[in-house]
Each structure stands twice: as structure tokens, then as C-alpha cells.
Amino acid sequence: MRRYLDRTGESRFDQEFAELGESGRDSILSHIGNTPLVRIRRVTEGIDRVAVFAKAEWFNPGGSVKDRAAFAMIREAELSGALTRDKTIIDATSGNTGIAYAMIGSALGYRVVLALPSNASTERKAALRAYGAEVILTDPLSGTDGAQQRVKKIVAAEPSKYFYPDQYSNPANWLAHYRTTGPEIWEQSEHSITHFVAGLGTTGTFIGTSRRLKEFNPDIRCVSFQPDSPLHGLEGLKHLGTSIVPGIYDESVADEELTISTEDAYEMARRLAREEGLFVGISSGAAMAASLKLARDIESGLIVTVFADSGARYGSELFEVDGREQSTRNAGLEDQRND
């Protein structure tokens, strides 16, 4: 992958990436990236000298930030010859990356096989199948590790049949953010970003975006956050202390590291929906909570964070319990209101 970091290699990749390849041109895939940057105003009330903005990543066609990485890994594999027309894209993910592979595979005409624990949500399985992906259900007791082991077995048995992107150690993952998310934030913030905040999953978003932003301005402080305990409900994020650290992670990139509790993330996701008109997912609630912690700590600045996906992807888990509480509260206190 070094070649992408030297001038010659970079210009070659960038040009072909921009052109999307023959089958991607003019397709839905040309709408990956260039997501809006929105200002958070009400949740930050009382904090005057710091502005907080968020990248609205659910505007991507597959509904999440992972479209960027999945597309970059697939394009890079097409360019390097690792992915050819006769191959099947295979991976183990029930999350946003799986949906991104399924969408991109459908748009480009590749077969996609995804292994996931059988207890993955019905909506997730339905979305993957709707895009035409083949879903292999694995033992729920062995979680995503079990799904990953199954994929490795399948690939080992017939290596020439499959392309296995392996997002945790594939440099095209972070390079997607180095090439797109970083420059977009730099331009959209009119070069005035002072702090970048992002959560760690595969770590591609944080590593790639931070590396690029620091090239634009080495004074930009990059702050990562992760769940505060191994048993957490922040889907898409990893508690690095107790997980296998992704191969693409580089601990020298973060200037500061924060931890966020599941409760704070859920509460903040609800507030973003109610107070900002932003119906976002749980990791976005965590991103906002981390940004708010930071905003309270610094004198002044412009913080940019990433809202990875929409609350629609979580539905009842995120909002139902609160909805019940809310209606009880409204019945007692605000029963005259009829809006």
C-alpha cells in the first residue's frame, strides 16, 4: 500500500478512484461521500466559545460511514487484481460494513456472502438479503468471532473463489477517510477546524481522517473515544483494552483519548433527535457526548465529529423504552398539549 502514499502511486489511485471504474460511473456509488456538515446548536447551549459540527454520514447511499471504507476496499482490490469478476466478496459482519458490501456488490454486479451470528436483528438480515447478499447464519453463542472463523474456513477451502476484504487490517479502509472524509471536513469547516473527534471501531475513520487533517494543519488535535467497558452497547465501536486491536490502528495518532458510557450515548442520541432534529444511531450519541466533554474542557475552538449512521438502523432498542417514559411524563405534566 505504500505506493498510495508516494506521489506517483497516489495520483494513480486518486484518478481511478474518482472515475469509479467502468461499472461504477453514474451509479449510486458516485454519491458516496460529500456528506453534509451540520452545526449542533441546542445540545451545546451554554458553551459559547466552542462550535461543534457533525458529519452526517447516514446521507451515504448505504446509510452509513462504512460505505466509504467498503467502496475503497473493493475499488482497490479491483485495481490491484485481487477482485475479479468471477470472485465472490465474503466477510463476517452484521453491521454497517455488511450493508455497504451488499449495496456495492449489487451496484457493481458481484456476488456477496456475509456470515453473521443468527441473533443479528431481523432488520439487518432483511436489508442484506434485499440487496441480494447471501447470508450464512452462525452460532449466536460464538458471536462475531464465530462468524469470522466460518468465513476463514470457507476462504481457506477455496481461496481462488473469494475476495475477503478484512477491514481490520486493510489499509484501503483508513485510506478511504484519508482521501475523502479528511479533505471534506477541511473544506467544509473553511480550514478552521481545531479538534477532530471520532470513535474507534475498525479505527479507519479516526486514523485516516486524523492523518489527513494533521497534514493540512499539524495543530489540529485529534481525539478518539471508545466504550468505557468491555460489556457495552455501542454498536460499531470497540473497547480496545479487551479486544483484538485492529491491524490498521496506530496509537501514535490520538492526542487525547476519551471513554463514553453506553447510558450517556443512548441519552445523547435521544437528545439529538428531540433537540436537533437529528435521528442518529448510538455511536453518534457517543460522538456527541465525547465532543461535549471536550468542548467543556477547552477555551475555544471548532470541533468536528462524525455521526456514523441513522437511528432508523436501531429502532426500538434505542427509542421505545424512552418513548414509554416520555408518554408517561407527558400524561402527567403536559396533558393539555396536543401537538
Active-site annotation, residues: 66, 283
Q: Which residues contact 149 (CB under 8 A, 6 or more apart)?
A: 142
The b-or-e profile of 74-89 (16+ CB within 10 A means b, else e) is: bbbbbeeeebeeebbb
**What is the closest distance, in whole angstroms, from the C-beta atom of residue 308 to ligand PLP in the complex?**
3
**What is the closest distance, in whole angstroms, from the C-beta atom of residue 306 to ligand PLP in the complex?**
8
Length of the chain: 339
**What is the closest distance, in whole angstroms, from the C-beta atom of residue 164 to ligand PLP in the complex?**
17
Residue of minimal CB distance from ligand PLP? 236
Binding residues for ligand PLP, rule: CB under 6 A, are 64, 66, 95-97, 199-206, 235-237, 281, 283, 308-309
Q: Could you give the C-alpha distances from 114 to 62, 124, 298, in angstroms and in order?
A: 16, 11, 43
**What is the closest distance, in whole angstroms, from the C-beta atom of residue 198 to ligand PLP in the complex?**
7
Residue 197 in contact with residue 221, Cβ under 8 Å? no
Q: In 158-261, which ranges are continuous DSSP H helix?
A: 171-176, 182-188, 204-216
Burial class from Cβ neighbours inside 10 Å (0-12, 13-18, 19+) for residue 174 reads buried
Dihedral sign, Cα of residue 199, residue 318, residue 31, residue 74:
positive
Which backbone phi and psi does 161 adopt, to 5 degrees? -85, -20
DSSP-derived secondary structure for 2-24: GGGTSHHHHHHHHHHHHHT-TTT
**What is the closest distance, in whole angstroms, from the C-beta atom of residue 46 to ligand PLP in the complex?**
27
Of 104 and 200, CB closest to ligand PLP: 200
Alpha-carbon span 229 to 311, nearest angstrom = 22
**What is the closest distance, in whole angstroms, from the C-beta atom of residue 204 to ligand PLP in the complex?**
4
Residue 168 in contact with residue 193, Cβ under 8 Å? no
Q: Could you give the C-alpha distances from 264 to 242, 272, 287, 316, in angstroms and in order?
A: 21, 12, 10, 17
**What is the closest distance, in whole angstroms, from the C-beta atom of residue 184 to ligand PLP in the complex?**
15
- How does DSSP classify residue 133? -
Q: Which residues contact 238 (CB under 8 A, 6 or more apart)?
A: 200, 201, 203, 226, 227, 246
Of 228 and 298, CB closest to ligand PLP: 228
